[in-house]
Structure 1
Amino acid sequence: MLTVEGLESAYGDSRILFGIDLSVAKGEVVTLLGRNGMGKTTTVKSIFGLLKPRAGRILIDGEDMAGRPSHLVARRGLGLVPEGRQVFPTLSVEENLIATHRGGRGAKWSLEAVYRLFPRLKERRRNGGDQLSGGEQQMLAIGRALMTNPRLVVLDEATEGLAPLIREEIWACLRAIKDEGEAILVIDKNVDALARFADRHVVIEKGRVVWTGTSTALREAPEVKDRFLHV
């Protein structure tokens, strides 16, 4: 569904990505791993048209979307849960969700479906986005992305700054989303949790892919975590 080939991106004269290759197939969960500052968020911004790549291709169902506006990328079926959540603080939970709703024939995600996935959001549906806890805001950010009825959900720092119990709840919800057949590309630092439900992993270091493999291969390669993932 998504194929990134030879992606190069920069901020001004500062090059960040040096030929990133990755892919996510329909219904697959893929992680993008690496220490802080290695280019993970830059990769996401490039995919979503928030940063124009200098080179490479970003193929969505075979169509090159590199450098295309963000709204066109979203229309091709990509939904983003951004780093920092970025919920609309002055809108209620329900208004946040309705604001991004994109229905149509065969759409599986609605208010009711999101509330089934996150019952707490239904309880807090009349509260403002700025009245939620960090965990609730992350649930809202995921629900808001699902309301676009994407075929691929991209999460940048899925559980950053959340308490352990809330992280487990987020992981359970992502497993449920996977069971619904959604493809997922996820960035997070909790490698062991990711290895329990992701299909493949892509590790980047200084803007280059340095390792790819399955969860089984990652568990059997402690040197990968020691060299590229530990602070």
Structure 2
Amino acid sequence: MSAPMLSVEDLTSGYGDSQVLFGMSFAVAAGEVVTLMGRNGMGKTTTVATVMGLLRPTGGAVRVEGEAVQGQPPYRIAQRGLGLVPEGRQVFPTLTVEENLVATAANRRPGAARWTVDSVVELFPRLGERRRHLGGQLSGGEQQMLAIGRALMTNPKLLILDEATEGLAPIIREEIWGCLGRLKDEGEAILVIDKNVSALLGLADRHYVVEKGRVVWQGDTASFRADAGVIERYLHV
């Protein structure tokens, strides 16, 4: 059996003297869509930051296709094939849409279908209409599309989205969920964080629920739907 695309094993991490993760463990296989769900402040973004090398773990392992990468600098981890759509989008405001996309262009998947500016614009036609606009001139929804496109331009083996649709208008959310569904159909491995449980259940194969820096529930979509108490216990504010 081949190694998972991403495997996080007993990960501990935090900020200075404040520990946030207390043994996080989960995995994402090739071609699989997996969620991290949980209330605000439970460690989801810290998990992503630690996986991507933006935070140094204090224990545990992060493996990409079986190779340990924990503690490596972010660019090395990105080179292993992890593409991040960060919370807050973080597009380059003084670069055009096209320049934002070209800035991250890479080929991590020799021989595979490669993402280009044209294929990103085909996925997100709004970006094509605004190809010469500056990143700072775009709406929040357009910036999120650009952030996803920018991550795809690295031709990742795994796409990670932190708060995929937070703060966006409903019509834009639906458009982004539809594009993520298309990526899934094309075999893209995706790890997604979002608060829209119904959309996540319609998209993902498996789910991990996070509480106070550790996984407290995991299972597939059928198991999630069958456990009527999981939302009340861990997801309601």
Smaller-chain TM-score range? over 0.9
- TM-score (ref. length: structure 1): 0.98
Which of 40, 52, 65 in structure 2 is aligned with 1:48? Answer: 52
RMSD: 0.8
Tell me which residue corresponds to 1:180.
Answer: 186
Query: What aligned pairs does 1:114-133 form with structure 2 within 5 A after superposition?
Result: 114-133=120-139
State the one-letter code of the partner of 2:89.
R
Which residue in 1 is equivalent to 2:175?
169
- Within 1, Cα distance between the matches of 2:74 and 2:214? 24
Using the TM superposition, give the Cα deviation of residue 219 of structure 1 relative to its aligned residue in structure 2, in angstroms.
1.2
Aligned to 2:15: 11
Secondary structure at the counterpart of residue 196 of structure 1: helix
Instruction: Name the SS for the 1:217 alignment partner.
Output: helix
1:112 to 104, 113, 118: 118
CA distance, structure 2, for counterparts of residue 33 and residue 53 of structure 1? 21
- Sequence identity, in percent? 66
- The alpha carbon displacement at 1:103 in A equals 2.8
SS state of the match for residue 14, structure 2?
A: strand
Among 205, 215, 222, the residue aligned to 2:221:
215
Distance, in Å, in 1 between the alignment partners of 2:120 and 2:230 is: 36
| Match of residue 94, structure 1, among 93, 98, 101 | 98
TM-score (norm 2): 0.96
- Code of the aligned partner of 1:146: L
Whole-angstrom distance in 2 between the partners of 1:98 and 1:180: 22
Q: 221-230 vs 104-113, which deviates more?
A: 104-113
CA shift, 1:81, in A, is 0.1
CA distance in 2 between counterparts of 1:114 and 1:163 reads 21
**Alpha-carbon displacement from aligned partner over 1:136-155 (angstroms, at most 9, x marks no partner):** 00000000000000010000
1:145 aligns with 2:128: no
Match of 1:206 among 203, 212, 224: 212
What residue is the counterpart of 2:40 in the other structure?
A: 36
Deviation at 1:160, TM superposition (A): 0.1
Query: Which sections of structure 1, spanning at least 5 residues, go unmatched?
Result: none
Q: 1:98: how far off?
A: 0.3
Write the distance in 2 (CA, Å) between the matches of 1:125 and 1:48.
29
| Structure 2: runs of 5+ lacking an equivalent | none
- Opposite residue 141 of structure 1, the aligned amino acid is A
Matched residue count:
231
